[in-house]
Amino acid sequence: MGQRPHRKGSQPEPRREDFAPAARATGPRGFDKGARDEQRRPLLHSGQTVELTITGTDEDGFGVANHEGTRVLVAGALPGEQVVARVTYVGRRETFGNLLRCLKSSPDRNPAPACDMGKACDGCPLIQMRYPAQLAWKKELVSRHIGSHRSLDKVKVHDTIASPKELHYRNSAKLVIAGKFSDPVIGIYRRNSHDVLEIADCPLHHPLINKVVKAVKAGIKKGKVPIYNAKSEMGLLRYLVVRVAESGNAVMAVLVTSEQGYNEIHHLAKFIQDAVPEVAVVAQNINNSTGNVIFGQRDRFLTKTHTLRAYIGEKSFSLSPRSFFQVNSGAAGIIYEKVREFAALKGSERVIDVYCGIGGISLFLADRAGEVVGIEVVDSAVTDATENAALNHVHNCSFEAGDAARLLEEIGEEGGAQVIVLNPPRKGCDAKVLESAAALQPEKMIYVSCSPETLARDLDILSRLGYRTVEVQPVDMFPQTVHVEDVALLVREKHRD
| DSSP element (H, E) containing 375 | strand 371-376
Q: Which of 121, 397, 429, 450 is catalytic?
A: 450
Give the 3-state secondary structure of residue 365: helix
d(CA 116, CA 174): 21
Of residues 39, 64, 43, the one with CA closest to residue 54: 64
Tell me if 66 is assigned to a ligand binding site: no
Strands (E), 228-327: 237-245, 250-257, 279-286, 298-301, 308-312, 315-319
d(CA 404, CA 378): 11
Tell me if 435 is assigned to a ligand binding site: no
d(CA 497, CA 238): 56
- Residue 322, phi-psi category: left (phi > 0), alpha (psi -120 to 50), beta (remainder): alpha
Q: Which amino acid is at 174?
A: K
Q: Is 450 a catalytic residue?
A: yes
Whole-Å CA distances, 135 to 161, 249, 290: 8, 29, 40
d(CA 11, CA 189): 8
Q: In terms of C-beta density within 10 A (0-12 exposed, 13-18 middle, 19 or more buried), how is residue 167 classed?
A: middle
How many separate helices (H) and strands (E) can be counted in the chain?
Answer: 9, 22
Torsion of CA 283, 245, 371, 340, to 10 degrees: -140
How do strand 419-422 and strand 350-354 relate by DSSP bridges?
Answer: parallel
Tell me if 287 is assigned to a ligand binding site: no
Mention every residue, 6+ apart, whose C-beta is less than 8 A from residue 194.
12, 230
The DSSP code for 381 is: H
Tell me if 423 is assigned to a ligand binding site: yes
Angle between helical axes of 452-464 and 131-147 (0-180°, round to 10)? 30
**Binding site: residue ranges?**
326, 355, 376, 423
Q: Which residues are annotated as a binding site for S-adenosyl-L-methionine?
A: 326, 355, 376, 423
Catalytic residues: 450
